């Protein structure tokens, strides 16, 4: 005989809705918890693979061994010295590439004639990866620090140039016409109308450029360097110390995540400030 539910239908519906809302309520209470589910699962899988000997320890060291290596690098000071060298290179290369990208992208965005001459060649050249320029840059700059700065600057140059050109081309034409009617000159229009409207696109371009610069830094240090996080990876591989390799990879990923997180927070604050009523551009 089928079981009869004596609860009224509205009460059943409300009970089910309340039970279904519990996970959503928990997520609202801990909004950042779900972000760590996948990293925690990967870490547990890594620990299980090493403890159960699914993968040989010579191929994949355990998380505890990697932690001990990180602790040793931090205690000895090698971690901070190599991290400082990498950060110095990426900041210098990013600054150089961004400055050139702002000038070049702004010129192409404001001048249709210059854009018609330069954009086709630029679009063709940017398809060449950073490593494709390495032999030519090696002949020009040698094996020293200028080589690394040049390749990192190239990686940052492309997103900033394209983003600046797009931002300047998308400047609001009605506001530009109003500024011209009020007697604004070209420089005043750029500073008072074009640049404030281009800030969100430029910020996204800078964020992408710094990410590209950081990735290129590691690649450059893998090839030609005697210090830096990329050098630690190569050094560990040559000595077959995979705990050192994994520790360096963890540091590279953590720094990259922190940089991206910083840009995300700064971009969010910038957009909230621009959307706030009465906020000045």
pLDDT at 95: 93
- Which residues, including other chains, have CB under 8 Å from residue 210's CB and lie 6 or more apart? 90, 94, 156, 259, 263
Domain boundary assignment for the chain: 63-275
The per-residue pLDDT for range 253-262, each reduced to its tens digit, is 888 888 888 8
Which own/partner contact pairs does 100-104 have at CB distance under 8 Å and 24+ positions apart? 100/153, 100/157, 100/161, 101/156, 101/157, 101/158, 101/159, 101/160, 101/161, 101/163, 101/164, 101/205, 101/209, 102/160, 102/164, 104/157, 104/161, 104/164
pTM recorded for the entire structure: 0.74
pLDDT at 94: 92
Assigned architecture for domain 63-275:
Orthogonal Bundle (1.10)
CB 85 within 8 A of CB 96: no
pLDDT at 165: 87
Q: What is the rounded distance in angstroms from the CA atom of residue 258 to the CA atom of residue 71?
A: 20
CA-CA distances (angstroms) from residue 271 to 56, 206, 267, 268? 49, 15, 6, 5
Q: What is the rounded distance in angstroms from the CA atom of residue 204 to the CA atom of residue 189?
A: 22
pLDDT at 49: 81
pLDDT at 100: 93
Whose tokens are 């910083």? That residue is: 262
pLDDT at 273: 60
| Burial of residue 198, with CB atoms counted within 10 A of its CB: 0-12 exposed, 13-18 middle, 19 or more buried | buried
Whose tokens are 């520790």? That residue is: 247
3-state secondary structure 197-218: HHHHHHHHHHHHHHHHHHHHHH
Q: Which residues of the chain have pLDDT under 70?
A: 1-33, 171-173, 175-176, 178-179, 181-183, 185-186, 188, 191-192, 271-281
pLDDT at 9: 46
SS3 (DSSP) at 281 = coil
pLDDT at 172: 67
Q: What is the rounded distance in angstroms from the CA atom of residue 12 to the CA atom of residue 15?
A: 5
């Amino acid at each position: 005989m089928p079981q009869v539910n004596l609860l009224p239908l509205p009460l059943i519906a409300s009970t089910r809705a309340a039970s279904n809302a519990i996970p959503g309520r928990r997520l609202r209470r801990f909004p950042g918890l779900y972000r760590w589910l996948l990293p925690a699962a990967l870490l547990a899988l890594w620990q299980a693979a090493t403890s159960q000997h699914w993968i040989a320890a010579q191929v994949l060291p355990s998380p505890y061994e990697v932690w001990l290596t990180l602790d040793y690098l931090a205690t000895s000071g090698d971690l901070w010295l190599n991290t400082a060298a990498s950060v110095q290179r990426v900041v210098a290369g990013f600054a150089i590439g961004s400055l050139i990208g702002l000038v070049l992208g702004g010129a192409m965005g404001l001048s249709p004639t210059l854009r018609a001459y330069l954009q086709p060649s630029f679009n063709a050249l940017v398809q060449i990866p950073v490593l494709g320029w390495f032999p030519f840059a090696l002949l020009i700059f040698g094996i020293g620090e200028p080589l690394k700065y040049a390749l990192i600057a190239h990686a940052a140059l492309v997103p900033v140039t394209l983003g600046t050109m797009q931002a300047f081309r998308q400047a609001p034409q009605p506001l530009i016409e109003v500024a011209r009617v009020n007697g604004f000159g070209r420089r005043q229009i750029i500073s008072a109308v074009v640049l404030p409207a281009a800030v969100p696109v430029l910020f996204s371009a800078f964020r992408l450029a710094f990410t590209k610069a950081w990735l290129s830094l590691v690649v450059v240090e893998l090839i030609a360097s005697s210090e830096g996080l990329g050098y630690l990876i190569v050094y560990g591989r040559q000595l077959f110390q995979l705990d050192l390799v994994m520790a360096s990879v963890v540091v590279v990923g953590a720094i990259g995540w922190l940089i991206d997180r910083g840009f995300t927070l700064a971009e969010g604050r910038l957009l909230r400030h621009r959307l706030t009523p009465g906020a000045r551009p």
